[in-house]
Amino acid sequence: MKKDIFFSILLAIILIYQIDLITNQRNNHPKGNSSVSINKQKTLFDIDVSKSNVLVGEVQAGMYLGNIFSKYNIPQQKATEIIQKTKGVFDVKKVKRGQKYFVIKNENTSDVDYIVYEQNNVDYVIFDFRDNLEVIAHKKEVKTEIKSAGGEIKSALWFAMEDAGINPLLSNDLSEIYAWSIDFFGLQKGDKFKLIYEERFVDGHSIGFGKIIAAYFEHLGKEIYAIPFKQDSAASFYDVTGQNLKKAFLKAPLKYSRISSGFSMNRMHPILKRVMAHQGVDYCAPSGTPVFALGDGTVIQTSFDNKSGNLIKIKHNGVYITMYMHLRAFGPGIHQGVRVTQGQLIGYVGSTGRSTGPHLDFRVKKNGEFINPLKIDAPAVEPVKKENMAEFNKIAIKYKSQLSKTKIITN
């Protein structure tokens, strides 16, 4: 009996303690529509607040600038005047839910001297309610630090970046740098990467990542450096030999030919005798004429059907896919999964499938949509010029050294 009473009392004490703890937590972390006093400090947003009381609040759904002013008893006339002064400085319609604002009150009079609204991590607006009623837009000082990190692919690049302590959003930038060199949908377990990149800080807190400065990727045992260099006022990335990592396409996938039918959305089909879209370009050429890969890429399909005949599809990067139809035969070693280089022999002109005679039906997809092959906006590329190679080599040595010292983190 005494044991039961003892445990009942103990349970009650624990319950009271938990309720008190929860109450204290709620008091110390009020809801967004409450204002919280912050500790005394000398300056805030470059304003002397040593003799002020500072409250911080959070914009709620449906809250406007006027609501905030009214909440802190700003006289209607002052509120109207200062809102009028926001023109050309701040769009009052862009007050966002969840953003913070700071109310700075005079310690002696309790009048509101300033309200500061944070637009984002960097930009803020000061509403000065003192004598002159001013609205001033400011930016916080952003400090950029250069960092480096490396990782190893176990499943996906995104996760490898997370394991290496890098914001995985940088994987998009990395894939763009290597878009013409590496098929990021075909990364292999054991592939490695190293980055030199920017991280931005405000008030000692990270607010995100800037650009990738230099990089290294080891894919299928091949090492590919991305060295930054500016030439003729254009910045790009190059490998250690000075070749641009971007690759241009050939003007056409075959030589000694003529265009017999262009890209059209309403062409009369020569066999079916009805108006249909022709989403490619027909190159008329003798049977057996060599057909070349328009650019570096991976063969993703080799097949035959009664419509396209012998067909090859090549994926060049995350943007472009080229298609070669009605081939008489495939080139040596051409099959699904093989990597091809620009200008490599991939097949021969034929008349297989739905065809009236020997020709190549050549098609291009950009981001999944067919485009006119004659209007490909392929990147203009050029290697480092001979007269610039000495300067480039100095930069390459510098970044290769930094990347060699970067550790690869595998969690």
Residues 6+ apart with CB under 8 A from 298: 183, 186, 314, 315, 337, 338, 339, 340
Distance (Å, whole) CA 162 – CA 379: 31
> Helices in 29-62 by DSSP H: which ranges?
none
- Which part of the chain has CATH 2.70.70.10? 258-375
Predicted pLDDT at 3: 45
Q: Tell me, what amino acid is at 69? A: F
Separation between Cα atoms, residue 307 and residue 322, nearest integer Å = 17
In this structure, the chain runs to a length of 411
Pairwise CA distance, residues 101 & 243, whole Å: 51
What CATH number is given for 143-246 in this structure? 3.10.450.350
pLDDT tens string 317-344: 778 999 999 999 999 999 999 999 888 9
137: its two tokens: 């837009």
- List the single range of 57-66, 252-261, 293-302, 361-370 with lowest mean pLDDT: 252-261
Rounded (to 5) percent helix, strand, coil in the chain: 20, 40, 40
Instruction: Provide the pLDDT confidence category of residue 23 given band limits of 50, 70 and 90.
Output: very low
Instruction: Outline where 37-122 has alpha helix (H).
Output: 65-71, 76-84
pLDDT confidence of residue 267: 53
Question: What is the distance between the alpha carbons of residues 55 and 48, in angstroms, rounded to a whole number?
Answer: 15
Q: Give the tens place of pLDDT for each residue, 229-253.
A: 999 888 999 999 999 988 888 888 8
Tell me how far apart the alpha carbons of residues 58 and 138 are, in angstroms, rounded to a whole number: 19
Q: In the predicted model, what is the mean pLDDT of residues 119-140? A: 93
H-run or E-run covering 265: strand 264-268
Please, which pLDDT band fits residue 39 given cuts at 50, 70 and 90? low
Amino acid (1-letter code) at residue 100: K
Residue 65 has phi, psi (to 5 degrees) of -60, -40
Q: What is the pLDDT of residues 99-129, one digit of tens each?
A: 999 999 998 888 999 999 999 999 999 999 9
Tell me the two tokens of residue 224.
Answer: 């590919």
Cβ-proximal residues to 24 (8 Å cutoff; 6+ apart), any chain: none
For the chain, give every residue range classified as CATH 3.10.450.350. 36-139, 143-246
- Tell whether the torsion through CA atoms of 93, 97, 102 and 108 is positive or negative: positive
> Which CATH number fits the domain 258-375, given the four candidates 2.60.40.10, 3.40.50.720, 2.70.70.10, 1.10.3720.10?
2.70.70.10
pLDDT at 195 over 70: yes
Which run of H or E residues covers position 21? helix 2-28
Q: In DSSP terms, which residues pair with 89 in a beta bridge?
A: none
Amino acid identity for residue 284 in this structure: C
Q: Is the pLDDT of residue 131 over 90?
A: no
Residue 382 and residue 215: Cα distance in Å, rounded?
Answer: 20
Contact 146, 161 (CB under 8 A): no
Task: Please answer whether residues 338 and 294 qualify as being in contact, where contact means their C-beta atoms are separated by less than 8 angstroms.
Answer: no
Contact criterion met (CB below 8 Å) for 202 and 121: yes
**Residue 87: burial class (beta carbons within 10 Å; 0-12, 13-18, 19+):** exposed
CATH number of this structure's domain 36-139, picked from the four choices 3.10.450.350, 3.40.50.300, 3.30.70.1520, 3.20.20.80: 3.10.450.350
The string of DSSP letters for 303-362 reads: EEETTTEEEEEEE-SSSEEEEEEEEEEEPTT--TT-EE-TT-EEEEEB--SS-SSSEEEE
Neighbours of 181 (CB within 10 A): 19
Average pLDDT of the chain to the nearest whole number: 85
